[in-house]
Amino acid sequence: MSLMDQLMADMKEAMKAKDKERLATIRMLKSALMYATIKDEGKLSDNELTHEQELAVLGKEKKQREESLADFKKAGRDDLVAATEKELAIVESYMPKPFTEEELTKLVDETIAEVGASSKADFGKVMKAIVPKITGRADGKEVSKLVGAALSK
């Protein structure tokens, strides 16, 4: 089942349950995916996003919620903090399980060996190879630090 199909099924379920917060968040996700599809229409085959592209959209929506959450906490807006935390939980429920620290370190080491990187000069090659593998499951900044540390050895 594609992500869009899952969102449609969950949207119907939320309507039946009269869960307005969940319904609004699912509609927002569906809208973001549809916008990405339309925006990239010329680049897509069959006018559908790939799984990686869907994960990238979900990651972007998650990051927006996390940034908003930090801002609301800083401003002392507890009402908005609670609502944003609920939205964030719903968005995260559609994302794959994040990598653990050990899994990420192992993936970095495997990718370095795969591309034959040996120094910091190969940082770009490693990042180019690893980013598609981590999409939606790890933060790029964290991976960048791990790659930099591994190449410094």
Residues 52-73: pLDDT tens digits?
A: 888 889 989 999 999 999 999 9
What letter represents residue 7's amino acid?
L
**Which two three-digit tokens encode residue 107?**
């993936």
Cα separation, 46 vs 4, in Å, equals: 14
- Whole-number Å distance between alpha carbons of 103 and 73: 31
Domain spanning 3-93, CATH class: mainly alpha
What is the overall mean pLDDT for the chain?
Answer: 88
**Alpha-carbon span 70 to 74, nearest angstrom:** 6
- 5-53 pLDDT, tens digit each: 999 999 999 999 999 999 999 999 999 998 988 887 666 555 678 888 8
Range(s) of the chain covered by CATH 1.10.1510.10 = 3-93
CATH of 101-152, one of 3.20.10.10, 3.40.640.10, 1.20.1050.10, 1.10.10.410: 1.10.10.410
Task: Give the lowest-confidence range in 27-36, 39-48, 108-117, 129-138.
Answer: 39-48
Residue ranges, CATH 1.10.10.410, the chain: 101-152
Q: Are the CB atoms for 112 and 151 separated by under 8 Å?
A: yes
